[in-house]
Amino acid sequence: MSVRAAVVGLGWAGRELWLPRLAEHADFDVVAVVDPAPAARAALDAAPGVPVHPTVDALTARAVDLAVVAVPNHLHARVAAELLGKGISVFLEKPVCLTSGEADTLAAAERAGGATLLAGSAAPHRADVAALARLLPELGRVRHVDLSWVRARGIPHAGGWFTQRSKAGGGVLLDLGWHLLDTLASLLGPARFTQVAGVTSNDFVGAGAWSAAWRQDEPAAGTAGDVEDTARGFLVRDDGVSVCLSAGWASHEARDVTRIQVTGSAATAELSCTFGFSPNRAPHALLTLTREGTTTALPVPDEPIGSEYRRQLDGLAAALADPNRRGRAVSEARTTVRVIEDFYASARRAHQQTAVPVHQAVPVHQ
């Protein structure tokens, strides 16, 4: 029996990622679409057969099994909690929440409605990431992981909600950084972070020339972004594994590069590829294993761009039917948002320290 799905939000993700993939997937039947914007709803009115609503009030647990929520970040927890409270299970795009308080709200709504929250995170479902995961037993005890996703050009909807802290909650750390942290958890298992040091910068976010062309968003006129476009940090997990994290919406590089290097007591594995949909991509993924001075290139599955989104749907119906999944997404999101909160706190401290002019600094007496 097909899962009756509603898509909530007709921005780029809802329109380009989820609607077409749900419509063609045998496990799902799209029974409703929701968006508050009249223009967005009118664009879908031309496609007969699927009711289009302005609010989630029209959705009921009798008619909808799963709501795929792809709204702006600041609405994630609010919309998902409303649906969960009505007994409608939710597949929520990352970031699942923007604060620990929002995680509490989602947990309470999940319990009250008896529904299940499932979290969307594409990167761990990539075939090349799976190939890297299969190498981990050969590495011995994992000691350190380098995680980076740095775009050449790729600021999403420059000047729009993505680059406004009041609506996005943050910048590239909440966007690409969340993907990287989810990938880390999928490789090594979940863990708390006992140490977090990070810095952020915003050299590119105010210039429309650095926008993500593949999103087909026009830069918003006259609106300057107030979020970071670059985040770099050093983290330590409670299992002793250290992590270097680097995320950038834009850079001086010619191509987007995603790099995951896992260093163990016996060997080092490294995956270099390009996550996401950017046209500024490396032509092929490269996976290597280095042991005692010898580096070996290993085969990597080649798949169409975006296959990881279809692959998420392949396992979604089974996850929805598993009662043990209830509460798991919130627990994992709570860990992720806590490290992001700590990262931003560290970055704020660093900015406050560097804001003092050098000539005004208090001299240190030997």
In whole angstroms, how far apart are CA 275 and each of 88, 184, 213, 272? Answer: 31, 14, 15, 10
Angle separating helix axes 172-188 and 328-354, nearest 10 degrees:
130
For residues 200-209, average pLDDT? 84
Start-to-end C-alpha separation, the chain: 76
Domain spans in the chain, listed from the N-terminal domain onward: 3-121+320-342, 124-305
**Residue 352, by phi and psi: left (phi above 0), alpha (psi -120 to 50) or beta?**
alpha
In whole angstroms, how far apart are CA 55 and each of 30, 177, 298, 349? Answer: 16, 30, 49, 40
pLDDT at 325 over 90: yes
pLDDT at 362 over 50: no
Q: Which segments of 228-327 does DSSP mark as H helices, in order?
A: 307-314, 316-321
What is the per-residue pLDDT for 359? 46
Fold (CATH) for 124-305 = Dihydrodipicolinate Reductase; domain 2 (3.30.360)
pLDDT at 154 over 80: yes
Task: Decide: 66 and 3 in contact? Cβ < 8 Å.
Answer: yes
- 3-class SS letters over 16-41: HHHHHHHHHCCCEEEEEEECCCHHHH
- Pairing type for strands 28-34 and 52-53 reads parallel
The CATH homologous superfamily for domain 3-121+320-342 is NAD(P)-binding Rossmann-like Domain (3.40.50.720)
For residues 77-84, average pLDDT? 97
Task: Give the distance, in angstroms, between the CA of residue 263 and the centroid of all CA atoms in the same chain.
Answer: 24
Per-residue model confidence as pLDDT tens digits over 118-147: 998 899 999 999 999 999 999 999 999 999
Per-residue model confidence as pLDDT tens digits over 87-118: 999 999 899 999 999 999 999 999 999 999 99
Give the angle 151-156-161 at the CA atoms, nearest 5°: 145
Q: List the one residue out of 162, 314, 334 whose CA is nearest residue 250.
A: 162
- 3-class SS letters over 113-140: HCCCEEEECCHHHCHHHHHHHHHHHHHC
Task: Give the distance, in angstroms, between the CA of residue 343 and the centroid of all CA atoms in the same chain.
Answer: 16
